[in-house]
Amino acid sequence: MQIYTLVRRGELHSVHCEDFLVSLDIDRNFYVGAVFDGCSSAVDSHFASALLGKILKKNCQTLPYQSFYQFGGSGLASADLGKWLLRQIFEDLQAARNQWLLDKLEMLATMILLVYHKTHKKAWAMALGDGVIKYDAQIYELDQNNRPDYVAYHLGEDFEEWFAQQTQVFELENPQDISICSDGIATFQSLKTDIAADFDPITYLLTDSFLAQHANMLTRKCNILQKQYGFLPADDVSIIRLRLAV
Protein backbone atom coordinates (compact mmCIF):
# COMPACT_ATOMS: atom_id res chain seq x y z
CA MET A 1 0.00 0.00 0.00
CA GLN A 2 1.30 3.42 -0.99
CA ILE A 3 0.01 6.52 0.81
CA TYR A 4 0.29 10.03 -0.60
CA THR A 5 -0.87 13.23 1.10
CA LEU A 6 -1.06 16.90 0.26
CA VAL A 7 -2.26 20.09 1.95
CA ARG A 8 -1.88 23.30 -0.06
CA ARG A 9 -3.12 26.82 0.61
CA GLY A 10 -5.37 28.31 -2.06
CA GLU A 11 -4.75 31.63 -3.80
CA LEU A 12 -7.84 33.19 -2.21
CA HIS A 13 -6.58 32.52 1.33
CA SER A 14 -3.60 34.78 1.90
CA VAL A 15 -3.14 34.21 5.65
CA HIS A 16 -4.29 30.78 6.83
CA CYS A 17 -4.81 27.42 5.19
CA GLU A 18 -8.24 26.30 6.38
CA ASP A 19 -7.69 22.63 5.46
CA PHE A 20 -6.29 19.96 7.75
CA LEU A 21 -5.34 16.33 7.17
CA VAL A 22 -4.84 13.19 9.28
CA SER A 23 -3.22 10.05 7.88
CA LEU A 24 -2.46 7.16 10.25
CA ASP A 25 -1.48 3.53 9.85
CA ILE A 26 -3.12 2.14 13.00
CA ASP A 27 -1.75 -1.42 12.94
CA ARG A 28 -1.42 -4.33 10.53
CA ASN A 29 -5.19 -4.28 9.98
CA PHE A 30 -6.36 -0.67 9.77
CA TYR A 31 -5.52 2.59 8.08
CA VAL A 32 -7.44 5.78 8.98
CA GLY A 33 -7.34 9.00 6.99
CA ALA A 34 -9.42 12.17 6.94
CA VAL A 35 -9.48 15.59 5.29
CA PHE A 36 -11.05 18.64 6.94
CA ASP A 37 -12.05 22.00 5.50
CA GLY A 38 -12.95 24.96 7.73
CA CYS A 39 -15.87 27.22 6.83
CA SER A 40 -14.47 30.47 5.42
CA SER A 41 -17.47 32.52 6.54
CA ALA A 42 -17.23 31.27 10.13
CA VAL A 43 -14.79 32.27 12.90
CA ASP A 44 -11.18 31.03 12.97
CA SER A 45 -11.96 28.38 10.38
CA HIS A 46 -8.38 27.10 10.38
CA PHE A 47 -8.87 26.31 14.08
CA ALA A 48 -12.10 24.37 13.45
CA SER A 49 -10.54 22.01 10.92
CA ALA A 50 -7.45 21.51 13.08
CA LEU A 51 -9.62 20.87 16.15
CA LEU A 52 -11.53 18.04 14.44
CA GLY A 53 -8.29 16.61 13.10
CA LYS A 54 -6.59 16.63 16.49
CA ILE A 55 -9.62 14.96 18.07
CA LEU A 56 -9.51 12.19 15.45
CA LYS A 57 -5.77 11.73 15.91
CA LYS A 58 -6.14 11.45 19.67
CA ASN A 59 -8.81 8.77 19.38
CA CYS A 60 -6.79 6.80 16.85
CA GLN A 61 -3.82 6.85 19.21
CA THR A 62 -5.93 5.48 22.06
CA LEU A 63 -7.39 2.64 19.98
CA PRO A 64 -5.08 -0.06 21.40
CA TYR A 65 -6.57 0.65 24.84
CA GLN A 66 -10.20 0.31 23.74
CA SER A 67 -11.85 -2.95 24.80
CA PHE A 68 -14.16 -3.07 21.75
CA TYR A 69 -11.14 -2.79 19.46
CA GLN A 70 -9.20 -5.52 21.24
CA PHE A 71 -12.23 -7.80 21.31
CA GLY A 72 -12.98 -7.32 17.63
CA GLY A 73 -9.38 -7.78 16.54
CA SER A 74 -8.91 -8.45 12.84
CA GLY A 75 -12.63 -9.30 12.57
CA LEU A 76 -13.69 -5.72 13.30
CA ALA A 77 -15.28 -4.19 10.20
CA SER A 78 -14.19 -0.90 8.67
CA ALA A 79 -17.72 0.49 9.09
CA ASP A 80 -17.75 -0.37 12.80
CA LEU A 81 -14.46 1.38 13.44
CA GLY A 82 -15.57 4.37 11.35
CA LYS A 83 -18.77 4.75 13.36
CA TRP A 84 -16.87 4.47 16.65
CA LEU A 85 -14.42 7.17 15.59
CA LEU A 86 -17.26 9.47 14.55
CA ARG A 87 -18.95 8.92 17.91
CA GLN A 88 -15.74 9.94 19.69
CA ILE A 89 -15.42 13.05 17.51
CA PHE A 90 -19.05 13.92 18.24
CA GLU A 91 -18.63 13.51 22.00
CA ASP A 92 -15.22 15.20 22.20
CA LEU A 93 -16.52 18.15 20.18
CA GLN A 94 -19.40 18.47 22.65
CA ALA A 95 -16.91 18.44 25.52
CA ALA A 96 -14.65 21.03 23.84
CA ARG A 97 -17.63 23.31 23.24
CA ASN A 98 -18.59 23.17 26.90
CA GLN A 99 -15.08 23.38 28.35
CA TRP A 100 -13.80 26.17 26.11
CA LEU A 101 -17.14 27.99 25.71
CA LEU A 102 -16.88 27.70 21.93
CA ASP A 103 -19.49 29.26 19.73
CA LYS A 104 -20.94 27.11 16.96
CA LEU A 105 -19.25 29.36 14.39
CA GLU A 106 -15.86 28.39 15.85
CA MET A 107 -16.40 24.67 15.13
CA LEU A 108 -17.60 24.62 11.53
CA ALA A 109 -15.54 22.29 9.34
CA THR A 110 -16.37 19.62 6.80
CA MET A 111 -14.85 16.15 7.07
CA ILE A 112 -14.35 13.11 4.90
CA LEU A 113 -13.32 10.09 6.98
CA LEU A 114 -11.81 6.95 5.45
CA VAL A 115 -11.18 3.61 7.18
CA TYR A 116 -9.43 0.86 5.23
CA HIS A 117 -9.09 -2.72 6.47
CA LYS A 118 -5.84 -3.95 4.98
CA THR A 119 -6.50 -7.63 5.68
CA HIS A 120 -10.12 -7.73 4.50
CA LYS A 121 -9.35 -5.29 1.65
CA LYS A 122 -12.50 -3.32 2.43
CA ALA A 123 -12.88 0.44 2.80
CA TRP A 124 -15.56 2.60 4.41
CA ALA A 125 -15.87 6.34 3.95
CA MET A 126 -18.30 9.01 5.10
CA ALA A 127 -18.44 12.61 3.91
CA LEU A 128 -19.82 15.31 6.18
CA GLY A 129 -20.02 18.17 3.71
CA ASP A 130 -18.54 18.91 0.31
CA GLY A 131 -15.53 17.24 -1.25
CA VAL A 132 -14.43 14.52 -3.63
CA ILE A 133 -14.17 10.76 -3.17
CA LYS A 134 -12.47 8.75 -5.89
CA TYR A 135 -12.08 5.00 -6.05
CA ASP A 136 -10.79 3.05 -9.01
CA ALA A 137 -12.32 4.71 -12.11
CA GLN A 138 -15.16 6.46 -10.28
CA ILE A 139 -14.91 10.10 -9.17
CA TYR A 140 -17.73 11.43 -6.97
CA GLU A 141 -17.95 15.19 -6.46
CA LEU A 142 -20.01 15.78 -3.31
CA ASP A 143 -21.74 19.13 -3.56
CA GLN A 144 -24.09 20.52 -0.91
CA ASN A 145 -24.53 23.83 -2.76
CA ASN A 146 -21.93 25.51 -0.58
CA ARG A 147 -24.10 24.93 2.49
CA PRO A 148 -22.58 21.90 4.24
CA ASP A 149 -24.49 20.26 7.06
CA TYR A 150 -21.68 20.61 9.57
CA VAL A 151 -21.48 18.19 12.48
CA ALA A 152 -21.29 21.20 14.83
CA TYR A 153 -24.91 21.98 13.94
CA HIS A 154 -26.02 18.73 15.58
CA LEU A 155 -24.12 18.56 18.87
CA GLY A 156 -27.37 18.87 20.82
CA GLU A 157 -28.80 15.75 19.18
CA ASP A 158 -28.52 12.05 19.91
CA PHE A 159 -25.54 10.58 18.07
CA GLU A 160 -27.36 7.45 16.87
CA GLU A 161 -30.21 9.48 15.39
CA TRP A 162 -27.78 11.87 13.69
CA PHE A 163 -25.64 9.03 12.34
CA ALA A 164 -28.66 7.22 10.90
CA GLN A 165 -29.49 10.28 8.78
CA GLN A 166 -26.12 10.40 7.00
CA THR A 167 -26.35 9.55 3.30
CA GLN A 168 -22.87 10.25 1.93
CA VAL A 169 -21.53 6.82 2.87
CA PHE A 170 -19.33 4.56 0.74
CA GLU A 171 -18.49 0.89 1.35
CA LEU A 172 -15.91 -0.47 -1.08
CA GLU A 173 -14.89 -4.06 -1.76
CA ASN A 174 -11.29 -4.64 -2.83
CA PRO A 175 -10.59 -1.10 -4.08
CA GLN A 176 -7.37 -0.57 -6.01
CA ASP A 177 -6.98 3.20 -5.77
CA ILE A 178 -8.81 5.49 -3.30
CA SER A 179 -8.64 9.25 -2.80
CA ILE A 180 -10.47 11.60 -0.46
CA CYS A 181 -10.19 15.35 -1.06
CA SER A 182 -11.56 18.64 0.16
CA ASP A 183 -13.59 20.57 -2.39
CA GLY A 184 -10.59 22.76 -3.19
CA ILE A 185 -9.43 20.14 -5.67
CA ALA A 186 -12.13 21.38 -8.06
CA THR A 187 -10.78 24.96 -8.01
CA PHE A 188 -7.54 24.54 -9.99
CA GLN A 189 -7.43 27.25 -12.66
CA SER A 190 -4.93 28.26 -15.32
CA LEU A 191 -4.61 31.32 -17.53
CA LYS A 192 -2.63 29.42 -20.15
CA THR A 193 -4.38 28.86 -23.47
CA ASP A 194 -2.12 26.17 -24.96
CA ILE A 195 -3.21 23.33 -22.63
CA ALA A 196 -4.75 20.24 -24.21
CA ALA A 197 -8.53 20.35 -23.98
CA ASP A 198 -8.71 16.94 -22.32
CA PHE A 199 -6.15 17.74 -19.59
CA ASP A 200 -7.79 17.58 -16.16
CA PRO A 201 -5.94 18.41 -12.89
CA ILE A 202 -8.24 16.14 -10.87
CA THR A 203 -7.48 13.14 -13.06
CA TYR A 204 -3.78 14.03 -13.06
CA LEU A 205 -3.67 14.04 -9.26
CA LEU A 206 -6.04 11.19 -8.43
CA THR A 207 -5.73 8.70 -11.31
CA ASP A 208 -2.45 9.21 -13.13
CA SER A 209 0.46 7.07 -11.83
CA PHE A 210 3.29 9.35 -12.92
CA LEU A 211 5.84 9.76 -10.08
CA ALA A 212 4.06 7.06 -8.04
CA GLN A 213 7.43 5.73 -6.89
CA HIS A 214 7.95 8.89 -4.83
CA ALA A 215 6.31 9.41 -1.43
CA ASN A 216 5.84 13.11 -2.23
CA MET A 217 4.11 12.40 -5.55
CA LEU A 218 1.21 14.80 -4.94
CA THR A 219 3.48 17.67 -3.95
CA ARG A 220 5.62 17.20 -7.03
CA LYS A 221 2.56 16.98 -9.26
CA CYS A 222 1.18 20.21 -7.80
CA ASN A 223 4.49 21.88 -8.59
CA ILE A 224 4.30 20.58 -12.16
CA LEU A 225 0.71 21.80 -12.47
CA GLN A 226 1.88 25.29 -11.51
CA LYS A 227 5.17 25.54 -13.39
CA GLN A 228 4.29 23.66 -16.58
CA TYR A 229 0.55 24.21 -16.93
CA GLY A 230 -0.07 27.36 -14.88
CA PHE A 231 -2.63 25.69 -12.61
CA LEU A 232 -3.13 26.99 -9.06
CA PRO A 233 -5.94 26.13 -6.63
CA ALA A 234 -8.19 29.08 -5.77
CA ASP A 235 -9.31 27.34 -2.56
CA ASP A 236 -7.27 25.36 -0.05
CA VAL A 237 -6.92 21.73 -1.05
CA SER A 238 -6.16 18.59 0.96
CA ILE A 239 -5.77 15.12 -0.57
CA ILE A 240 -5.14 11.60 0.66
CA ARG A 241 -4.54 9.00 -2.04
CA LEU A 242 -4.05 5.28 -1.41
CA ARG A 243 -2.67 3.04 -4.16
CA LEU A 244 -3.50 -0.46 -2.99
CA ALA A 245 -2.75 -2.62 -6.03
CA VAL A 246 1.04 -2.31 -5.79
* pLDDT at residue 191 in the model: 84
Residue 44 has pLDDT above 80, yes or no: yes
Task: Report pLDDT digits (tens) over 169-211.
Answer: 999 999 999 999 999 999 999 988 788 888 999 999 999 999 9
d(CA 227, CA 214): 19
Q: Please state, in angstroms and rounded to a whole number, the distance separating the CA atoms of residues 244 and 246.
A: 6
Render pLDDT for 89-145 as a digit per residue (tens, 0 to 9).
999 999 999 999 999 999 999 999 999 999 999 999 999 999 999 999 899 999 877
Band of the pLDDT at 246, cuts 50, 70, 90?
Answer: low
Question: How far is the C-alpha of 114 from the C-alpha of 36, rounded, in Å?
Answer: 12
CA distance 15 to 10: 10
Question: Between the CA of residue 119 and those of 17, 23, 30, 74, what are the distances in Å?
Answer: 35, 18, 8, 8
Mean pLDDT (whole number) for 40-45: 86
Q: List the domain range (segments joined by +) for residue 218.
A: 2-243
* Residue range 60-88: mean pLDDT, rounded: 84
Q: What total number of domains does the chain contain? A: 1
Cα→Cα distances 23→56, 61, 147, Å: 10, 12, 26
Residue 31 is predicted with a pLDDT of 96
Examine the pLDDT at 45 and tell me if it is beyond 90. Answer: no
Task: Say what percent of the chain tops pLDDT 90.
Answer: 78
| Domain CATH number, residue 106 | 3.60.40.10
